[in-house]
Amino acid sequence: MDDTNPPPARQFGVDDSLESIFGIFDLYYEKGWTDGLPIYPPTQAAVGAMLRYTDRARDEVVAVIPPRNGAATVEKIAINAVMAGCRPEYLPVLIAAVEAMVEPEYNLYGRQTTTHPGAHLLIVNGPLRRELDVNCRHNVFGQGWRANATMGRALRLILINVAGNKPGVTDMATHGHPGKYSFCMGEDEEGSPWEPLHVERGLAPAASAVTVYCAEAPHNINDQVSKTPEMFLGSAASTMATLGGNGLYRSGLRGEQGLVISAESAKWLADFGWSKSDVKKYLYDHARKPVRELRDRGGWGKSPLPPFIDVNDDDAMVPMVKAPENIVVLVAGGHQRHMNALLTAGYSMSVTRPITMKDGTPIRSVRDFLR
């Protein structure tokens, strides 16, 4: 296809009767344009309202998305955002997310066509997280917040309708997980004792940013009893270094594994003098298994291990990632000392993009687009 001159969106007329509205749902489902759930009709008025929140032309190609290599124009991103039920002001987040996920290190083609059950998690940081009311606390991965539910869903619809991601055809996930309907969170920057993810990655605290991180379903880690950081994080390390996971077998590759800690837990660790870097180093050193347990099972022999591992030494301890900085630590969630492991396929890296005007000027508020 000619990605420099993509065709405009098709249009067709319907009336506003209930029968017609249900007919739209049925039509979109039959055409394979939905995720299986009802959609909001992307009328000209609704898409036009969405496009007010960008300074880009509606036919500008934001990215070319595999596996179909479809051209994600601003208009097509807006159409899918309307279908997902997004408010118009969510559009800048989605444009930045689409830009992020086509960066080479994210390995989108591999993530789109794999048998692994990864879903694209959106992580929102900065002032826009608060302005758009992106949940970062209780039930952060659950229901109840329009921003989380619809932005995560919009990205999935873009991957279906622009990228051609079809289960059993191009999406070969053996099982998948519910995050493939919607997967979006904010980071609890106000509750965290540490710098948030976007600052850790070089952006200003006042900047707004979105990160795409392809992960399995969150796996709860419950430790209400440990009295020391070492014991507490030891519970996390044990959960993350699982024989059935990909990390241990692909730790020689450039990949990540993640941990979400509640603000209560993070503050407790900080009271002991632990930094986020200390947490990563401890997990790197202790989320390991010996070669004898890894050999001849799981993904043994499919990918290179780190060069310092002697595969002939049964006692050699294999880490779950290549280096401590390949562990993503996020602060989010409600009360109590729960954690959640965000395990990955082990061969892609998350990408963070600032949310900006077309010329790269950081936005402080979505209202910047209306001036």
Q: How confident is the model at residue 22 (pLDDT cuts 50, 70, 90)?
A: confident
pLDDT in tens, 190-200: 999 999 999 99
pLDDT above 70: percentage of residues in the chain: 96
Helices 91-101 and 146-161 pack at an angle, to 10 degrees, of 50
pLDDT in tens, 96-154: 999 999 999 999 999 999 999 999 999 999 999 999 999 999 999 999 999 999 999 99
pLDDT computed for residue 277 by the predictor = 98
Which residues lie closer than 8 Å to 82 by C-beta, 6 or more apart? 40, 41, 42, 43, 46, 47, 50
Which residues lie closer than 8 Å to 60 by C-beta, 6 or more apart? 73, 74
If we measure between CA atoms, which residue out of 260, 278, 266, 283 comes closest to residue 332? 260
Residue 158 pLDDT > 50: yes
Phi, psi values for residue 108, rounded to 5°: -65, -40
pLDDT computed for residue 1 by the predictor = 41
For the chain, what is the mean pLDDT? 95
If we measure between CA atoms, which residue out of 41, 112, 128 comes closest to residue 81? 41
Q: Mapping DSSP to helix (H, G, I), strand (E, B) and coil, where does residue 313 land?
A: coil
DSSP string computed for 66-91: TTTTEEEEHHHHHHHHHHHT--GGGH
Residue 65 pLDDT > 80: yes
